[in-house]
Amino acid sequence: MPLNIYARTALLRNFWHDMRRYARHSFAIASNGRENQRAIIRILTHYLEGGESFPDVRLGFGQEKAHSILNKIEVYVADFEADDTVLWAHATLESYLAFHRCQGMPLVDIEERHAEQARRLCIHPRDGGGGSELVRAEEIRNAVDFDFGESLRNRHSVRQYTPAQISDDQIHKIVVNAQQCPNVCNRQTIRVYAYNDRKTVQKILPLQAGNAGFRQEIGTLFIVTANLEHFNLIGERYQGWIDGGIFAMTLALAIHAEGLGACFLNWSVEQEADQLLRNALRIPDNEIVITCMSAGHLKDEFRVPVSARKPLDEVLTLSREVVL
Ligand SMILES: Cc1cc2nc3c(=O)[nH]c(=O)nc-3n(C[C@H](O)[C@H](O)[C@H](O)COP(=O)(O)O)c2cc1C
């Protein structure tokens, strides 16, 4: 294999750049900022929320975590206000405590701390919509009673749009729907920058190479980023890309579900190009850019690449055995 010094050096330089950003903004090394603190509260809260939804709930689970949430909230509200994260945590604690009460095992010391904190911070636990809820299989089956495969087969990367502009209301709806995607510990690390003014979009697009053949068609542009301040483990160093990818795909499907067209526009760039976009759009240093995506109204007829899929056996390994 030829030793390509230039490529190796560039690769190392880019990894080093990414590593520094992760070290600076995640709390894998030290926790300090507001978002780091919010993330810790969300991780702990999610533990309680998740614990309630297991098939066999272990009574008394999570008491240490519950105390820890109350402690972290004290520190948090000393510097910041009781925001949606605090409300969610309180509502989840309320549900957790009610669950134990109903099972004949009231967690008195946590109940007292929770009630006292709620009183002092003027929090009504129900404000935050947390805890667990009962859902019915029938409701889910009714909601998916359509041919999802057919819908997927009719999604294409669309590179032609009519001049009509997508409305801001539709953009709100699309992003609210995309927010329903799964994400690590419900930390919701993703931010979407939506540009819905044709002139502005046309100024941004030259920064991305993959739209050159259809740039003039594009009137709406989404940019999906992930906030590194929500990650706390070294093992999570790529989690932003994963959550971002999942969000971006859901965004594409939400656009498709509106009867509109979308095309991912890759942000597979080196640090210099990345910095240009960040500077132009004022994307803060703590966010990583996952992808761009164009969107627009469908023409009555238009061409798309067939983009044939690989044979299933190249994609699927369906196993019954494992050597352990
Ligand atoms: C992360 C990602 C980046 C992409 N970047 C571009 C791009 O820059 N320009 C483009 O025309 N298509 C881009 N695409 C679209 C792919 O070419 C397309 O999804 C693929 O060929 C499959 O076709 P389909 O989406 O129509 O099924 C991208 C897709 C993904 C998932």
The tokens for 129 are 């919509």
For 302-314, what is the mean pLDDT?
97
For 196-223, what is the mean pLDDT?
98
The tokens for 96 are 């957790």
**pTM (predicted TM-score):** 0.94
209 CA closest ligand 1 atom index:
8
For 83-96, what is the mean pLDDT?
94
How do residues 95-141 score in pLDDT, each as one tens digit?
Answer: 999 999 999 999 999 999 999 999 999 988 666 688 888 999 999 99
Q: Does pLDDT of 294 surpass 60?
A: yes
156 CA closest ligand 1 atom index:
26
pLDDT for 263 equals 98
Q: Is 160 in the pocket of ligand 1 (CB under 6 A)?
A: no
What is the percent of the chain where pLDDT is above 70? 98
Ligand 1 centre to CA of 263 (Å) is: 6
Q: Is 191 in the pocket of ligand 1 (CB under 6 A)?
A: no
Q: Does pLDDT of 1 surpass 60?
A: no
* CATH architecture entry for 147-297: 3-Layer(aba) Sandwich (3.40)
* Per-residue burial over 135-172, b = 16 or more CB atoms within 10 Å of its CB, e = otherwise: eeeeeeeeeeeeeeeeeeeeebebbbbeeeebeeebbe
Ligand 1 centre to CA of 262 (Å) is: 10
pLDDT for 172 equals 98
Q: Is 264 in the pocket of ligand 1 (CB under 6 A)?
A: yes
Helices (H) and strands (E) in the chain, counts: 11, 4
Q: Is 247 in the pocket of ligand 1 (CB under 6 A)?
A: no
pLDDT for 208 equals 98
Measured by CA distance, the residue closest to atom 27 of ligand 1 is 156
How do residues 166-198 score in pLDDT, each as one tens digit?
Answer: 999 999 999 999 999 999 999 999 999 999 999
Give helix 108-120 / helix 84-102 axis angle, nearest 10°. Answer: 150
Q: Is 294 in the pocket of ligand 1 (CB under 6 A)?
A: no
The mean pLDDT value of the chain amounts to: 95
pLDDT band (50, 70, 90) for residue 32: confident
pLDDT for 3 equals 66
Q: Does pLDDT of 73 surpass 70?
A: yes
Q: Are 193 and 225 in contact (CB under 8 A)?
A: yes
Ligand 1 centre to CA of 195 (Å) is: 20
Ligand 1 centre to CA of 256 (Å) is: 14
CA dihedral 143, 146, 147, 153 (to 10 degrees): -80
Domain edges within the chain = 31-128, 147-297
pLDDT band (50, 70, 90) for residue 244: very high
Q: Does pLDDT of 320 surpass 90?
A: no
Q: Is 210 in the pocket of ligand 1 (CB under 6 A)?
A: yes
Q: Is 291 in the pocket of ligand 1 (CB under 6 A)?
A: yes
